Amino acid sequence: MAAIEVDKLRVRYGQRTAVDGISFTVEPGEVVALLGPNGAGKTTTVETLEGYRLPDEGEVRVLGLDPHAEHSRLVGEIGVVLQRGGVYPVMSGARALKLFASYYDSPRPPAELLSLLGLEEVADTPFKRLSGGEQQRLLLALALVGRPSVCFLDEPTAGVDPAGRVVVRDVVASCREEGVAVLLTSHELDEVERMADRVVIIDHGKVRAAGTAGELAGGQEVRFSVEGTLPLGRIEESLGAKVLAEGSSYRLQGVTDPAVAARLTALLAEEGVTLTDLRVGRERLEDVFLRLVAGEEP
């Protein structure tokens, strides 16, 4: 049984459809990222899994339970980082962790979590006086205090400095090793690529692509820029590939063989067109994301 199951989930706010038929699963010990721009439906999806919202259509299950109807059975098993806030502003990290620990049957010791998240030196500082990154790390510590089997982390690295990000990544990695299912959201590609085993790219409430970063990147590609006008027809004909204009550069669609680059160079030389940039390599997740989300229909 998957730890998290989302099947054709649809959530509406009045007339607006925030989540429009999303399906995915997360297995125990797997880190899955929902990636998408603001307003894509990431938080709505996560909050439905946390039991805050009801699906209008479709079904969600966490550890086989209905997160809304069976909320009280589920809350002891999940750890949550909300998109925003969640701690008494006057309360220090040490006090907040001790209080949250009292809610659970066998909590992780607060001191252990303060050390794990690198918060020992600010343990007695009120939440409102912590830096953005420290606040975020404390919220993560609070999510882990109940030894959850499933973690929902909504933007866990938002506002976190580079050193803090390393800590957050390490903690997520240790969750994976302990068999915790982690669902996180982000609009930062870099973080997602580093943390997640699988990525679900969503936009306007729909899944646009899903897979590992490697699968999504889809192998080799050839990208180039030229000075002057490109003899488009000639190139497409002799290389047998479609040339796509992307901003100021071009991409050979469907070409994964780097040898094509050599033929392209020769061709352009024959035509007297100056090549200003040529890149052969793996498409980065960022390119996939931009291609899917920034207008171009797949």
Partner 1 sequence: MRAFRAQVAAEVRMTLERGETLLVTIGIPAFLLVFFSLVHVLPTGKGKPVDFLAPGVLALAVMSTAMVSLGIATGFERSYGVLKRLGATPLGRPRLLGAKISAVLAVEVAQVVVLAAIALGLGWRPHPAAGLAVLAELLATVAFGGIGLAMAGSLRAEINLAAANALYIVLLLIGGVVFPLGKLGGFATFARLLPAGALTQALHPTLGQGAAPGVEAWAVLAGWAVLAPLLAALTFSWE
DSSP-derived secondary structure letter, 296: -
Among 10, 12, 68, 98, binds partner 1 (CB under 8 A): 98
Q: Least Å distance between CB 177 and partner 1?
A: 24
Q: In the range 34-53, which residues lie near partner 1 by CB under 8 A?
A: 50-52
Which residue number, 21 or 76, has a Cβ lying nearer to partner 1?
76
156 forms part of the interface with partner 1 (CB under 8 A): no
104 forms part of the interface with partner 1 (CB under 8 A): yes
Q: Least Å distance between CB 229 and partner 1?
A: 56
Please report the beta strands in 28-164, taking only residues with DSSP state E, as ranges in sequence order. 31-35, 57-62, 78-81, 150-154
95 forms part of the interface with partner 1 (CB under 8 A): yes
90 forms part of the interface with partner 1 (CB under 8 A): yes
Q: Which residues contact 202 (CB under 8 A, 6 or more apart)?
A: 22, 34, 35, 36, 40, 41, 42, 45, 208
Contact 221, 285 (CB under 8 A): no
254 is written with which tokens? 């469907």
Which residue number, 77 or 283, has a Cβ lying nearer to partner 1?
77
CA distances for 276 relative to 76, 183, 248, angstroms: 58, 42, 11
- CA-CA-CA-CA dihedral for 38, 44, 49, 52, to nearest 10: 130
Among 27, 57, 65, 99, binds partner 1 (CB under 8 A): 99
Which residue number, 37 or 86, has a Cβ lying nearer to partner 1?
86
Choose the binding region for partner 1 from 19-27, 78-86, 164-172, 216-224 (rule: CB under 8 A). Answer: 78-86
Secondary structure (DSSP) of 125-182:
SBGGGS-HHHHHHHHHHHHHTT--SEEEEESTTTT--HHHHHHHHHHHHHHHHTT-EE
Amino acid (1-letter code) at residue 245: A
Binding mask 213-252 for partner 1 (x = CB under 8 A): ----------------------------------------
Tell me how crowded residue 187 is: count the other CB atoms within 10 A of its CB.
17
Distance of CA 125 to the CA centre of its chain: 30
Contact 275, 208 (CB under 8 A): no
Radius of gyration of the chain (CA): 23
Which residue number, 26 or 145, has a Cβ lying nearer to partner 1?
145
Among 4, 9, 35, 82, binds partner 1 (CB under 8 A): 82
Among 76, 211, 218, 231, binds partner 1 (CB under 8 A): 76
Among 59, 103, 234, 266, binds partner 1 (CB under 8 A): 103
Choose the binding region for partner 1 from 10-18, 24-32, 85-93, 224-232 (rule: CB under 8 A). Answer: 85-93
Q: Which residue ranges make up the site for partner 1 (CB under 8 A)?
A: 50-52, 72, 75-76, 78, 80, 82, 84-91, 95, 98-100, 102-104, 142, 146
